[in-house]
Structure 1
Amino acid sequence: MKQILPKDITPFELQSVLQHSVAPRPIALASTIDKDGNVNVSPFSFFNMFSTNPPILIFSPSRRVRGNTIKHTLENVLEIPEVVIGNVNFDMVQQVSLSSTEYEKGVNEFVKSGLTMKPADLVKPPLIAESPVNFECKVLEIKTLGTEAGAGNLVICEVLKIHIQEQFLDENGNLDQKKLNLVSRLGANWYGKTSEETLFEVPKPLQNKGIGYDQLPTEIKNSKIFTGNDLGMLANVEVLPAGSFYSEESKHLEAQQFLLQSKIEEAWKVLTL
């Protein structure tokens, strides 16, 4: 196994390792404004939600690895502590990438990227019309993590208002994950696409208390057929079926086909004598 001590490699090398391995990452498209009224929009993949009540989003405009300078977005939220965060789907990803260009101070990336400004209701920065969801936020705190190249600056934001394009809702008025078609950031030039074809569901073990991997029958646990995912599904039942269990690979292969369809009960029926 390759082992790395961060202090032994360059910031460029460390950034590559981290961005390739800590992925996929959601993208915050941050719309900000400075004290003179200059608007900026830029994407950040050091981003996530960290609280529901209160609703808190955090993104990090890190110091540039090349040159150790700070980004206009950070300068803006230090002057005007407000931000609109839009999410990013496949239909706009090329424009979002273009908005990350290092334009000079005062250049409006909305204009350069062709993204559309729309007035917000509660904050000064504009909404991003192309984003399926926009969050109007006030900046509660900016926590600086260091002064060296690559150091992050956590912009802690409280959501004041949410705007959702209705075309991304289902028949019950809820966000439809399949329709959103969100993209995520990976390492180097790579992105991920969460299209309907790549989505899958894993039931959360909240209502049921699964027996756990350690309680699986030996014939099942030592199978040469079942993967870790297969065994995790089989272990997520509250009670083992009564009887003994097949050790034959043919039965395990048959049960595995049900597991591929998330049909755990049917898989156990195949495995039970």
Structure 2
Amino acid sequence: MKCFDSNDINSLDKIFRINLINSCSGFKSANLLGTISTEGNTNVAVFSSVTHLGSNPPTLGFILRPTTVPRNTYKNIRDMGVFSINHIFEEIIEDAHHSSAKYPEEISEFNVTDLEAEFKEGCKVPFVKNSPVQMEMKYVEQVYIKSNDVIMVVAQIEKLFVNEHLIHEDGFIDLSSGNVVAINGLDGYAALTLKERFGYQRPKK
């Protein structure tokens, strides 16, 4: 087994290091965040850092890279206070990944890809049409992580839309049946298959 110590990692070629460290943490969630500006310009961008923070209240978080360069998603979230989270599924991975390209604020990624914006009654922000799981999120707070110069944005689920056939009787959402994908590293997309579910575990007697 290959071993990289901290000195090895620091001396690696930049691209090799980025790919290595972005891959070693494991599969990550694959989501498209939909926002809209105060001027009405829509934006959609791929994120691989959305994570569960708590169920009561229903709270998620995601990581933003340093804001030393324009971050249209972040600006729209702070200005409007709301955004959408949409799971990426197999049929849209190429267009979803292209949303990571840095377009000017006035150019919507919905207009340069085949991703289609969907607006729902009572919701200000665009969702990604046909995504099997969609969430309207309300900005709650942000936490600055000094050690890596990043921001964790914390948001609460205001509305949750799920394709009904994915919901089990106990509330479990079977993402694999919705062809939802995961991200491996920076640019790898993996199809998922649910293998097994296990009940709540207690110590063996």
Fold match by TM threshold 0.5 = yes
Post-superposition shift, 1:175?
A: 3.5
Post-superposition shift, 1:3?
A: 0.8
SS in structure 1 opposite 2:137? strand
Post-superposition shift, 1:12?
A: 5.4
Post-superposition shift, 1:122?
A: 4.1
SS in structure 2 opposite 1:15? helix
Q: Which has the higher strand share?
A: 2
How many corresponding residue pairs? Answer: 202
Query: Cα deviation per residue 1:41-88 (whole Å; 9 max; x = unaligned)?
Result: 001001111111100111122138xxx524211111121111110111
Aligned residue number for residue 5 of structure 2 = 3
CA contact (8 A) 2:97 2:187 kept: no
1:156-175 equivalent positions in 2, closer than 5 A: 156-166=154-164, 168-169=166-167, 175=173
Q: Which has the higher helix share?
A: 1
How many angstroms apart in 1 are the aligned matches of 2:136 and 2:70?
Answer: 23
| Percentage of pairs with the same residue | 21
Is 1:20 aligned to 2:23, yes or no? yes
How many angstroms apart in 2 are the aligned matches of 1:27 and 1:157?
Answer: 17
How many angstroms apart in 2 are the aligned matches of 1:24 and 1:17?
Answer: 13
Aligned residue number for residue 179 of structure 2 = 181
Question: Which has more radius of gyration?
Answer: 1
The two structures, once aligned, show a CA RMSD in angstroms of: 2.8
Aligned residue number for residue 40 of structure 1 = 43
- Letter of the structure 2 residue corresponding to residue 132 of structure 1: P
1:1-273 equivalent positions in 2, closer than 5 A: 1-4=3-6, 8-9=10-11, 14-63=17-66, 68-146=68-146, 151-166=149-164, 168-169=166-167, 175-195=173-193, 199-201=194-196, 203-204=198-199, 206=201, 208-210=202-204, 238=205
How many angstroms apart in 1 are the aligned matches of 2:127 and 2:186?
Answer: 28
- What 5-or-longer segments of structure 2 have no aligned partner? none
How many angstroms apart in 1 are the aligned matches of 2:152 and 2:159?
Answer: 21
Distance of aligned partners of 1:92 and 1:56 in 2 relative to their CA distance in 1, 3 Å threshold: same
How many angstroms apart in 2 are the aligned matches of 1:6 and 1:118?
Answer: 47
- The one of the two structures with greater contact order (alpha-carbon pairs below 8 A, sep at least 6) is 2
TM-score between the two structures when normalised by the length of structure 2: 0.84
- What 5-or-longer segments of structure 1 have no aligned partner? 211-237, 239-273
